[in-house]
Amino acid sequence: MSVVRSGLQVFFDDGYVSDFKGKRVGVVTNHSGYYPGRGHLIDLLIESGVNVEAIFTPEHGLRGLIPAGESYSDESYRGIPVYSLYGPRRKPPVDIIRELNTVIYSIQDVGVRFYTYISTLFYTIEAAGEAGVKVIVLDNPNPLTGSIIEGPILEPTLRSFIGIWSIPIRYGLTAGELARLFNDEANLKAEVEVIRLNGWRRRMWFDETGLPWVKPSPAIVDLNSALMYPGIGLFEGTNVNEGRGTSKPFRVIGAPWLNNVKLIDEASSLGLRDVELMPIEYKPMGTGVKYNGEECRGVELIVRNRESLRPVKLALTLIHLISRIHPGEFKFLEHNGAYHFDYLVGNRGVRERLMNGNLDEALSIVDDGVSEYVRGIGGYLLYD
C-alpha cells in the first residue's frame, strides 16, 4: 500500500470530481496522469460524467513516447481534440480555454528547471489567467525531494522554454507549489487550486512514496536517471554523450575521443565521495543521439550517497576535467551564435569560468542566490 496518495487519487477518492459533472473541462496531461490500478485521468473523468472538451499535451506527447526535442501534431483521443503544446504552439490557445469551465493539470515532473513540463505548466496558467478560467493542479511528488535545492538561479536574459522562470535547476517544489509561485511572481492572474498530495513529506524521495514509477519521458527510465539529470543533463550542451541512446541515460557519459582512465584518475584526486566513476565502453544507438553507432569510452556514475550528492556541481567538475584533458576535442555546442549550455545552466558566467579553467568560481555561482530563493518560497509551500 502506498504511503502517499497523488493529487489525482485524492481528486477521485475524496469526491472532488463530483463538482465537475456536466462541466466543460480541459485537461493538460500525458501518460503520467494515471490512477494506479484504475486507469487514466481522461477516462476516469469521462466515466464520472465530466465533459472533457479538450486535451493538451506536453513534450513527448500523450503517450510519452516521442523522442526529446521532436515536435508533433494535433490528434484526437476518444473523439476529443488533443492539442500539441510542443511544436509551433507552446501555450494552450486562449480562445479554446475561454470556452471551458475549468482546466485540470496532471503531469508527473522530475523537479528540474530545464525539464519542459514546468514550462507547459507556466503557459497553462498564463492562458487560463487571460481567459478567466480556473486551473486545478492535481499534485504529484517531486521525485528528488522538496528539501534539496541546487542552483544556479536562472538569469532573466536566458529565459526560454528550457528555463521559464528564475528558479534554481533543482528547485525543490511540487507542481502545485510551483504553480502558486508562477502565478504570483509572474503575475499570471489565474485562479489556481491545488489538490494536495496525501502523506507526502518534503524529505521523501520518490521510491519512499510507495507510488509506482511511471517514466515521465523516454530517457528518465528510473529514479537514478532522474537524480543525475540536473547535472548530467548539462552535457546536452556539449559534445560529450550524456547517455542518451543507452540503457542508462544520464548515468553514463562518454565520447570516442575520451580518455576515461585519465578522467577517473583526475576525478579521484578531487576526493569525490558521493559518486563512484567506473570505466565503461558503450555504443549509443538511436536517431539524434550523439555518436550514434560509434564506440564511446566513458564513465558510469554510481551514486553512493544521494542525500549529499549535488549533481550540478559534479557535472561542472567533470566538464572542467574533460576540457583540461582534451582541450582540442571538448566543445560547448553553439547554435545560431548562442550556447545551449548557457540556457541549460541558466548563467553565462558558468561556461566562461569553465573555459578559463576556473572551476571554483564556476561552482560558487551554483550557490549564488539559493539561500534567498529558499527564504522566498516559504509562502508557496504546501507540505512540511
189 in the same domain as 284: no
What string of H, E and C letters represents the secondary structure of the chain? CCCCECHHHHHHHCCHHHHHCCCEEEEEECCCCEECCCEEHHHHHHHCCCEEEEEEECCCCCCCCCCCCCCCCCEEECCEEEEECCCCCCCCCHHHHCCCCEEEEECCCCCECCCCHHHHHHHHHHHHHHHCCEEEEECCCCCCCCCCCEEEECCHHHCECCECCCCEEECCCCHHHHHHHHHHHCCCCCCEEEECCECCCCCCCHHHCCCCCCCCCCCCCCHHHHHHHHHHHHHHHECCECCCCCCCCCCEEEECCCCHHHHHHHHHHCCCCCEEEEEEEECCCCCCCCCCCCCEEEEEEEECCCCCCCHHHHHHHHHHHHHHHCCCCCCECEECCEEHHHHHHCCHHHHHHHHCCCHHHHHHHHHCCHHHHHHHCHHHCCCC
pLDDT for the residue numbered 43: 98
Torsion of the alpha carbons at 184, 108, 64 and 236, rounded to the nearest 10: 70
31 in the same domain as 71: yes
159 in the same domain as 46: yes
102 in the same domain as 186: yes
Residue 266 covered by a domain: yes
pLDDT for the residue numbered 1: 62
229 in the same domain as 204: no
Please give the Cα distance from 18 to 124 (Å, whole number).
23
Residue 359 covered by a domain: no
Please give the Cα distance from 324 to 339 (Å, whole number).
19
Residue 2 covered by a domain: no
Residue type, 27: V
230 in the same domain as 208: no
126 in the same domain as 84: yes
The 10s digit of each residue's pLDDT in 253-268 is 999 999 999 999 999 9
pLDDT for the residue numbered 272: 83
Please give the Cα distance from 57 to 347 (Å, whole number).
29
Residue 310 covered by a domain: yes
In the chain, the number of structural domains is 2
In contact, 282 and 253? CB cutoff 8 Å: no
- The CATH number that applies at residue 55 is 3.40.50.12170
Residue 353 covered by a domain: no
Please give the Cα distance from 34 to 115 (Å, whole number).
20
Q: Which domain holds residue 128?
A: 7-217+374-380
185 in the same domain as 113: yes
- The CA R_g of the chain, rounded to the nearest whole Å, is 21
119 in the same domain as 258: no
Q: Which three cell numbers stand for residue 155?
A: 538569469
My answer on whether omega of the bond before 36 falls inside 30° of 0, hence cis, is: no
The 10s digit of each residue's pLDDT in 153-202 is 999 999 999 999 999 999 999 999 999 999 999 999 999 999 999 999 99
CA distances from 15 to 9, 58, 272 (A): 10, 27, 50
Residue 250 covered by a domain: yes
Which residues, 6+ apart, have CB-to-CB distance to 269 below 8 Å?
none
**Average pLDDT of adjacent 10-residue blocks, the chain of 384 residues:** 92 98 98 97 98 98 96 98 97 98 98 98 98 98 98 98 98 98 98 98 98 97 98 98 98 98 94 92 96 98 97 98 98 95 98 96 97 98 98
Please give the Cα distance from 280 to 353 (Å, whole number).
29
208 in the same domain as 63: yes
303 in the same domain as 211: no
229 in the same domain as 167: no
* Strand pairing category for 75-77 and 80-84: antiparallel
Please give the Cα distance from 138 to 8 (Å, whole number).
5
Residue 365 covered by a domain: no
- The CATH number that applies at residue 286 is 3.90.1150.140
pLDDT for the residue numbered 9: 98
Residue 367 covered by a domain: no
Q: Which three cell numbers stand for residue 234?
A: 548539462
